[in-house]
Chains A and B, each alone.
Chain A
């Protein structure tokens, strides 16, 4: 215990259950990876449902998909990719102990994430205007009555999957705000930047989910006419 007490006195960030900072960092990192695995299983369930119904109604899904704005979706994809880049820069700054740079890049990431969410809100509003929101007022132009239900299925999946993704982005924004505040207080250094590291892991994961969502939802059959 003497050895442990000494180690804990030296590094205030070292929690009592851990013996060394390396152990703590390894545990936190493994914990975040495990959490991301659970998220894969979580989103995976949605992807499974999508796969089942796209296989059942391929034509309807293609038509419904083509009503989404592929350019806005592409722009949003680029925004998110850039935000992952700025996140990497933030992690790098933390490794180098550059407090100002950490804060700058985290804020940039936050802004880009905010842009993504804003564009999403705009897209959803567009869907609302077009009566593509599932429910009693759903109507897809030019489709037979019995096909409306299948188109509604596509949009249900669209909103469920992008909604779940957006929720994770919002949580990510919260995480970023926390990291920015902690960075401003000078809590991160080259010796201790684990929260920035694992925050980055989470952010990248949310980005990767979008990379899958974009083609599955927006790019089903771009050669479709009408």
Chain B
């Protein structure tokens, strides 16, 4: 049997940073644990009771000592905070060129969609050395996307999008776990992340997807749901044109401005009355119940593809 491992593999750019933080935390913890244990052990034996009539006379207070053992631990904890925060900050800011992927979590499976249209269930194939940004939605309850080898985790909450990013550094197969209790088969909602050499990944990708790319599926939905009746490309319809919308700042009827990101588009499809564009009437019906979370993501991809220039991470696997 292998030597019992204490740490999971380091397979992402985050992992070494997290592990170094852990070593520091461990060092402090071991130091203080040993200090307290040994001090108690020593004092208890050295000053053990030798007679029932003993009455110790010893100082039972000291301001200097209190200050020292308040200030020094506080200083150490501030280092811990800062270090932990910097690792966290890094994890919260995906690079602009990260490859976008979409995840829909439902009881009890992970549905993953590549831009090129590949759909995976409980598996995710990604190329080595490329940052990946997942936009995640849940169809039902709260789930959590957890890859121990990458040291990343993010809850997937119904009703909103959450994102997670990572960059794999080692080819191989790594556990994917759901880490938020979600019902009967919570412990069955697991899978694998397959990190492949770039050429292998290309080969896997070119296996193709029968349904077409994510954006093409979105276009089909756009037509099927009759969105194009109102959202005409030339802006002559009753509703704003969606050309080049993604990433633009939109002026709302109530005077506010908002950036048209994934969350805005999702809300506009499911709760259109929430934000009305200036100069337009609130005539759009809600599509809640008519389109799934998968469908919303496909529509978003399609809308992203419209217009003069592709934006954040848009395009195919190697797009910039």
Contacts and interface: CB of A to CB of B under 8 A. Distances in A.
Interface string A122-151: 000000000000000000000011110000
A144 B288 contact: no
Nearest to A57: B274
Contacts of A147: 273
B282 A146 contact: no
Contact of A145 (B254, B274, B282, B286): B286
A146 B285 CA distance: 8
Contacts of A145: 285-286
Interface in B243-285: 254, 270-274, 282, 285
Interface centre among A57, A144, A146, A147 (most CB of B within 10 A): A146
Contacts of B288: 146
A145 B254 CA distance: 21
Interface residues of A, number: 6
Nearest to A58: B254
Nearest to A60: B273
A57 B275 CA distance: 11
Interface string A82-98: 00000000000000000
A57 B271 CA distance: 12
Nearest to A144: B273
Interface in B32-49: none
Contacts of B282: 144
Contacts of A57: 274
B96 to A, nearest CB: 30
Contacts of B271: 146
Nearest to B282: A144
A205 to B, nearest CB: 36
A57 B285 CA distance: 18
B269 to A, nearest CB: 10
A148 to B, nearest CB: 10
A101 B146 CA distance: 70
Contacts of A144: 272-273, 282, 285-286
Interface in A139-186: 144-147
A123 B282 CA distance: 32
Interface in A29-52: none
A151 to B, nearest CB: 11
Nearest to B270: A146
Interface string A38-77: 0000000000000000000101000000000000000000
Interface centre among B272, B282, B286 (most CB of A within 10 A): B286
B267 to A, nearest CB: 10
Nearest to A147: B273
A224 to B, nearest CB: 14
11 contacts: A57-B274, A59-B254, A144-B273, A144-B285, A145-B285, A145-B286, A146-B270, A146-B273, A146-B286, A146-B288, A147-B273
Given A144-B282, A146-B286, 14 more contacts: A57-B274, A59-B254, A144-B272, A144-B273, A144-B285, A144-B286, A145-B285, A145-B286, A146-B270, A146-B271, A146-B272, A146-B273, A146-B288, A147-B273
Closest 7 pairs (CB-CB, A-B): A146-B286, A144-B273, A146-B271, A147-B273, A145-B286, A146-B273, A146-B288
